[in-house]
Amino acid sequence: MTVKVSLTVNGKPATAEVEERTLLVNLIRENLRLTGTHVGCDTAQCGACTVHMNGRAIKSCNILAMQAEGANITTIEGIAKPDGTLHPMQEAFRQNHGLQCGYCTPGMVMSALDLVTNVNPNPEEQEIREQLDGNLCRCTGYHNIVKAIAAGAKAMRT
């Protein structure tokens, strides 16, 4: 059985006809072709699928698409400026070498933005590490990711 899902994604209205069991991550990637949101584990363990729903970070592999009916979704593609200028948090990841293979990076950036926007605009290292608890990186060892988030938070404050 299929259902019609209408939501706003990166500021634009979107509608899709999906099976009832379709996950939000699959709607984003397959129906909307926004492939910056990654599928890592399908069990909400790795954070690669992190997006913002109504301004809060969520793991889109853990939510049915129809649960997002009417929601405002922001993906990694929606945070840069229309002219392609990176968001300060994205730029901080680039400048501080907060990525290697890049697979986890979109989820890390989205989680970092949730921390800085909704929890603490000036987080200490321990708070950053705690926020990243649900985001796995198998390449970097997290040191430069933490450094990037601190730098991104500072850039967002100025």
61: nearest Cα among 140, 135, 139 = 135
Alpha-carbon span 39 to 78, nearest angstrom: 18
Q: How far is CA 66 from the centre of its chain?
A: 19
Beta strand 2-9 with 12-19: parallel, antiparallel or unpaired?
Answer: antiparallel
**DSSP letter (8 states) at residue 85:** P
The pTM of the full predicted model, rounded to 2 decimals, is 0.95
Q: Is it the case that residue 106 has pLDDT exceeding 90? A: yes
- Grouping H, G, I as helix, E, B as strand and the rest as coil, residue 148 is helix
Q: Which domains does the chain have, with CATH numbers?
A: 2-78 (3.10.20.30), 88-157 (1.10.150.120)
φ, ψ dihedrals at 93, nearest 5°: -65, -40
pLDDT tens digit sequence for 52-93: 999 999 999 999 999 999 999 999 999 999 999 999 999 999
pLDDT tens digit sequence for 15-61: 999 999 999 999 999 999 999 999 998 888 999 999 999 999 999 99
Contact 72, 51 (CB under 8 A): no
